Amino acid sequence: MSGQLGHAKAATIVNVYAHFVEAFDALVVQVLGDLWDQNEAV
């Protein structure tokens, strides 16, 4: 995969893109929490 993305080493993928995964995880948790709160209010 690193070659397809233009990186010489696979470690570059982790170093560059890991923060995107963390941010996405936080977004998913927030959205699910909001949905849960809406369901509790009904």
- The stretch 7-23 carries a mean pLDDT of 74
Where does 1-42 have alpha helices with state H? 10-41
Question: Would you state the pLDDT for residue 36?
Answer: 92
Question: Would you state the pLDDT for residue 30?
Answer: 94
Higher-pLDDT residue of 33, 13: 33
Token code pair at residue 29: 């948790």
Q: Which of 3-7, 12-16, 19-23, 37-41 has the lowest mean pLDDT?
A: 3-7
Please tell me whether residue 12 adopts helix, strand or coil conformation: helix
